[in-house]
Structures are given as C-alpha cells and as structure tokens.
Amino acid sequence: MSRMPCARTLSMLLPLDYHTAGKHDLMLMLSELIAKLPVAVHNAGAWLETIHIKLSWLNSLSDLLPSPELQQQLPLAVHRMQRFSFEGRNWLNGDANQDALCDMLAPYLDTPSLRDISLDMLRDDESEDHLPVHIGRLTASPQWQNLSQLFLRDVAFHPSQLHGLISNLPISFLSFTMEHIRLLSGTWAEVLDILRGKPAITSVRLDDLLGAECDDMSDDEMKAIFGKQSFLDRSQAEWYIAGFGRQNPLEGRSGQNNETMELGSEEEAEVVSA
C-alpha cells in the first residue's frame, strides 16, 4: 500500500467461503482481518473511501470484534470513509450476537464523512425463530452530516429511534430504502408521518414491512398500500411520504379497516405542503 498512496478501494477477489475457512481452521484469522486491513492501509499512508464487508455465514459474532488495540486505531483509519456496506447472509441471532454485531459495526458507522450506508442482514433461509437485528443502538446519535443514501434490510427498530435518526440527517439527504424491516413498537402509520416530515428526502422505498398493523393486514391490503406496478413506480405509502395526498393510507388500520387514497400519477395527485 505504501507504493499506492492514491488507492481508495481495496478488493479481495475470490475470498474463502465459510466451509473452506472452517476446514482449514482459518475462521478466526479471517475475522480478525476485517479490522486489521483498514488499520494496515492507514498505517501505510493511504485512505480507504469505500469498505464492503460480505460474510456468507456468521456463527459467533464475537470473533469479529477487534482487539482493544485495534478498537483504538480503527476510528482514525476509517474517518475519511465515504461508502460502507455490511452484508451478512446467514447468522445465529441472540442477544450476545446482536451486541457483538453492534460493537463491530460502531467504529465504521461513527464516521462523519459517510455518504452511503448499506446494512443488509437478509438470511438465505427465513426460519420461524429468526429475529431481525435491532439497530437502535447504531442509530442513536449518528454523526452523518454528509449522508445522502441509506439502505436497511432485515433489521428492526422503534419509531422513536427512527425519528431520532431522521431528525439528525442532513438537508442533502436523498435516498432511504427499507426492506424487510420489523417495527418493534408503535405503528407503521406513525413511521410514514415521520418520513413525510423530512421533505429533503427525495426518494423513500418501502418493501416487505413487518410488525404492528402490517402483521394483521391481508395480502390484498398490503398490495394496495405498498404494492408497485414497476420498480420505478411509487406505492401509496411512498406517495404519501412524498407529500401527495392528505390522509395517511395506514391511518386507523391498527384496529379497523380504513379507506385508502387512490393515486394514479404524479400529475393527478394533490400536493400538500409541509
């Protein structure tokens, strides 16, 4: 790296999969490399602007925790990072693993220079006892003054935590995607109002929401409010967040059915000023 001072992205091609690494007793060493590499790059005089971590299997997340020495060095090593993504396809949930995951991700997500964040914990096989990752701790007091894009999949939070996150986002924030998200309390109607109150967000995409009133709605009801004819289209919920229509399409659905607004195109919708 000392010979490449302008390097900003480091890619490891064809990394070992979980079974091969386990067969050769390399799991712990490979886990340690996740934290060691950014520090080594920084010590060599270069800055990484992009870090993508993709793990095919996570057993003991405590193995991913850096040593105390690396924990002190890592924040400085990544403080110029602009894009960060973490993808964990198969992992064993539980309080200990959730805490370890948050501890592992914290140094990366505490980086104020971040512009693009993606946290994707969607499992390949959805088991009945699977619980999404509770990320409230990670979004409690973000310092993301440059953030423009945020992607969350298969995680969970409370509405109050989302409100705190949204309130601290910069005016330049553009895109927010939530897929397979579980709400731990409150209602999704409340979440729509929270997102609608942030007019700077130009694009919000909601798919496969879980918890609260969404667990009690039929497939037809979910499709009517969250369904889209194409990827480029917006659902009723997304139109409401964007400021079109006066009535929250989920209002009253926690205990009774409610009529939903009909939107055909942006020209037909009524714009409601914030």
pLDDT one-digit tens code per residue, 160-217: 999 988 888 887 788 999 999 999 999 999 999 999 988 778 889 999 999 999 999 9
Contact 54, 21 (CB under 8 A): no
In this predicted structure, the answer to whether residue 91 has a pLDDT above a threshold of 80 is: no
3-state secondary structure the chain: CCCCCCCCECCCCCCCCHHHHHHCCCHHHHHHHHHHHHHHHHHCCCCCCEEEEEECCECCHHHHCCCHHHHHHHHHHCCCCCEEEEEECCECCCHHHHHHHHHHHHHHHCCCCCCEEEEECCCCCCCCCCCCEECCCCCCCCCCCCCCEEEEECEEECHHHHHHHHHCCCCCCCEEEEECCEECCCCHHHHHHHHHCCCCCCEEEEECCECHHHHHCCHHHHHHHHCCCCCCCCCHHHHHHCCECCCCCCCCCCCCCCCCCCCCCCCCCCECCC
pLDDT one-digit tens code per residue, 4-26: 666 666 666 556 666 676 666 66
Contacts of 2 (CB under 8 A, 6+ apart): 44, 45, 46
Can you say how many angstroms the Cα of residue 175 is from the centroid of all Cα atoms in its chain? 12
Q: What is the mean pLDDT of the chain?
A: 80
Average pLDDT over every residue of 132-156: 85
d(CA 136, CA 109): 13
The bridge status of strand 155-157 relative to strand 203-207 is unpaired
Considering the entire predicted model, what is its pTM? 0.82
d(CA 38, CA 211): 37
The arrangement of secondary structure in 18-241, i.e. its CATH architecture, is Alpha-Beta Horseshoe (3.80)
Give the per-residue pLDDT at 15: 64
Percent of the chain with pLDDT over 90: 39
pLDDT one-digit tens code per residue, 204-263: 999 999 999 999 999 999 999 999 988 778 999 999 999 998 899 998 765 444 333 334
CA dihedral 146, 80, 83, 144 (to 10 degrees): -30
Contact 79, 109 (CB under 8 A): no
Q: Tokens for 42?
A: 């920084």
d(CA 104, CA 66): 7
Listed range (5-9, 50-54, 156-160, 268-272) with the worst mean pLDDT: 268-272
d(CA 179, CA 163): 18
The more confident residue out of 235 and 1 is 235
Q: What's at 76, amino acid-wise?
A: L
Domain boundary assignment for the chain: 18-241
